[in-house]
Amino acid sequence: MVTAMVRQDNAGVEAAQLIREMGLAMPDTGPALTSPIDGSVMPGIGFTSLAGVSAAIEQSVTTFNKWRSVPPPIRGELVRRLGIELRAHKDALGRLVTIEMGKPISEGLGEVQEMIDICDFAVGLSRQLHGLTIASERPSHHMREMWHPLGPVGIISAFNFPVAVWAWNAALALICGDSIIWKPSEKTPLTAYTAHALLERVISDFEQAPRHLSQLLIGGRDIGEALVADTRVPLISATGSTAMGRAVGMRVAERFGRSLLELGGNAATIVGPSADLDLAVRAITFGAAGTTGQRCTTMRRLIVHDSIYDTLLDRLKRAFASLPIGDPRDPAMLIGPLVDERAAHAMDRALDRARADGGVISGGGQLDGLYVRPAIVEMLSQTAIVREETFAPILYVLCYSDLSDAIATLRDVPQGLSSSIITTDLREAETFLSATGSDCGIANVNMGTSGAEIGGAFGGEKETGGGRESGSDAWRAYMRRQTQNVNYGQDLPLAQGVVFDV
């Protein structure tokens, strides 16, 4: 039996050492926080008051009024320096992510690398915030489209990517000329405090950057709600559960604000009869069990062709059973703990429901503390529990014989974030990528469903919220568009030939 291997040194003490190592002050004390690794106590962090939220927004408005006039390439220079700061502290911040959230150390470091990557991307973009010129039907007229800074941007983030998602938003918003206000997850305030303090250090050394350009609000749902309701914040970019997004989206729409929603997923992979099974086993195991099933893009459903079902399932069960589970600071461990006791209960409840629906379970079950064994559940059909996102390492497996049925199953869930197909058949791959194929924001071939690069736009359809962040043209969400018409002649021709002579 696999047991969770946990090192004896105290994760909470190491967290405090890492903050000091980065040359940062310890946060003001607040409610006790514990590491999911070993339950040890980490430095607490004080909550923001509701009055503090309003004051931060006021400062953010004042700051925005200055920052919007700084030329974009100079704004890019600030973000370039943030990238340098992150490179210098990649190891320490990556370890802190691991200690606070519980993901394996290579993923903690990968998360900081993602922050560095988006900084680099944003620096280049700061010289390319381009609009359009459009042919005018009126003589001696120019028509063009310009992009202007939008205002203070509210960023609400989830626990599972405690700093990278903030960086996606912050790097783009800053080069776009916006001030930023961050409400991180109440489960991961320490990494938020640290990443924000690194940015503040860069801001304080950068003459053109006004004070309070970036604000941090620590607290729970009430703090998020106050930010979301405030008309001084034109854009709320919120990452988290669909329940959160439903509340946030409606509240922001009510005040005619703009929201960018990155919500829950329920990713599926189809494995065709021609699939390379060695590649499939690796892609599926990382996709479903990596990050202990706590990615929005985690592979939760596997739809396997009946001709290879038994062979693939046998190999997957063996791969899952061999996964090293334990202290995620140890590079040999591939599976760390779940984030908290609630997550472990949610996994148990989901497995009970799947069993009641006739599911046959391999693996699962809690080891020491918050460590669980990833589970494979063979299902006869896509029942209600399979259509829900349970934020834990459970892979539901279904069998198909016809590709169109497999695609219909893949689409038949409320979420639409990520998907993939594993096949060496070109026709199958292209059908999957066509308009009648996957309905998700991300569609991959011969790989899993998680591990996106920052260069592409990231996000999904349906209950995933429709937002797009990170690469491609996602920057446009952080700016306002203006159509400009200039008459450089002496006449005043009207569009559509309208005559109005006075």
What residues act catalytically? 262, 296
Residue in 186, 245, 168 with CA at minimum distance from that of residue 457: 168
Closest-CB residue for ligand NAD? Answer: 224
Query: Considering only residues 27, 36, 151, 240, which one is a binding residue for ligand NAD as defined by CB under 6 A?
Result: 240
Q: Does 97 bind ligand NAD (CB under 6 A)?
A: no
For residue 5, CA distances in Å to 106, 317, 318, 333, 337 come to 17, 21, 20, 8, 11
Tokens 């801001």 label which residue?
203
Query: Considering only residues 146, 247, 313, 323, which one is a binding residue for ligand NAD as defined by CB under 6 A?
Result: 247
Site for ligand NAD in 445-484 (CB under 6 A): 464
Q: Does 183 bind ligand NAD (CB under 6 A)?
A: yes
Please give the Cα distance from 188 to 220 (Å, whole number). 11
Q: Does 171 bind ligand NAD (CB under 6 A)?
A: no
Q: How far is the CB of 47 from ligand NAD (least distance, A)?
A: 12
Nearer Cβ to ligand NAD (160/409): 160
Pairing state of beta strands 442-445 and 418-422?
parallel
Nearer Cβ to ligand NAD (158/454): 158
Helices (H) and strands (E) in the chain, counts: 15, 21
Nearer Cβ to ligand NAD (339/354): 339
Which tokens go with 397?
A: 């497996």
Pick the piece of the chain touching ligand NAD (CB under 6 A) from 15-23, 132-140, 153-161, 284-292: 153-161
Nearer Cβ to ligand NAD (108/240): 240
Q: Which residues contact 314 (CB under 8 A, 6 or more apart)?
A: none
Q: How far is the CB of 481 from ligand NAD (least distance, A)?
A: 24
Q: How far is the CB of 454 from ligand NAD (least distance, A)?
A: 12
Q: Which residues contact 357 (CB under 8 A, 6 or more apart)?
A: 379, 380, 383, 384, 385
Nearer Cβ to ligand NAD (149/184): 184
Q: Are 357 and 350 in contact (CB under 8 A)?
A: no
315: phi then psi, degrees, rounded to nearest 5: -70, -40
299: phi then psi, degrees, rounded to nearest 5: -75, 115
Q: How far is the CB of 343 from ligand NAD (least distance, A)?
A: 8
Q: Does 296 bind ligand NAD (CB under 6 A)?
A: yes
For residue 225, CA distances in Å to 52, 53, 62, 222 come to 13, 10, 22, 5
Query: Considering only residues 48, 63, 160, 438, which one is a binding residue for ligand NAD as defined by CB under 6 A?
Result: 160
Please give the Cα distance from 178 to 334 (Å, whole number). 39
Nearer Cβ to ligand NAD (100/262): 262
Site for ligand NAD in 406-425 (CB under 6 A): 417
Q: Does 126 bind ligand NAD (CB under 6 A)?
A: no
Instruction: Write a three-state SS string for 264-290.
Output: CCCEEEEECCCCCHHHHHHHHHHHHHH
Query: Considering only residues 6, 155, 244, 334, which one is a binding residue for ligand NAD as defined by CB under 6 A?
Result: 244
Pick the piece of the chain touching ligand NAD (CB under 6 A) from 116-124, 244-252, 359-367, 478-486: 244-252
For residue 378, what is the enclosing H or E element? strand 375-378
Q: Are 100 and 143 in contact (CB under 8 A)?
A: no
Residue in 150, 169, 157, 151 with CA at minimum distance from that of residue 224: 157
Q: Does 186 bind ligand NAD (CB under 6 A)?
A: yes
Amino acid at residue number 93: L
Nearer Cβ to ligand NAD (6/452): 452
Q: Does 264 bind ligand NAD (CB under 6 A)?
A: yes
Pairing state of beta strands 141-149 and 132-134?
antiparallel
Q: Does 235 bind ligand NAD (CB under 6 A)?
A: no
Q: Does 122 bind ligand NAD (CB under 6 A)?
A: no
Please give the Cα distance from 95 to 98 (Å, whole number). 5
Nearer Cβ to ligand NAD (184/364): 184
Pick the piece of the chain touching ligand NAD (CB under 6 A) from 91-99, 140-148, 261-269, 375-383: 261-269
Query: Considering only residues 37, 129, 202, 248, which one is a binding residue for ligand NAD as defined by CB under 6 A?
Result: 248
Q: Does 159 bind ligand NAD (CB under 6 A)?
A: yes
Query: Considering only residues 151, 224, 337, 437, which one is a binding residue for ligand NAD as defined by CB under 6 A?
Result: 224
Please give the Cα distance from 155 to 165 (Å, whole number). 9
Q: Is 203 left (phi over 0), alpha (psi -120 to 50) or beta?
A: alpha
Q: Does 228 bind ligand NAD (CB under 6 A)?
A: yes
Residue in 184, 187, 186 with CA at minimum distance from that of residue 164: 184
Residues 204-223: x where in contact with ligand NAD by CB under 6 A, - otherwise, as a string: ----------------xx--
Q: How far is the CB of 263 from ligand NAD (least distance, A)?
A: 5
**Binding-site residue total for ligand NAD (CB under 6 A)?**
31
Q: Are 152 and 180 in contact (CB under 8 A)?
A: yes
Q: How far is the CB of 165 from ligand NAD (least distance, A)?
A: 6
Residues contributing to the site for ligand NAD (CB under 6 A): 156-161, 165, 183-186, 220-221, 224-225, 228, 239-241, 244, 247-248, 262-265, 296, 389, 391, 417, 464
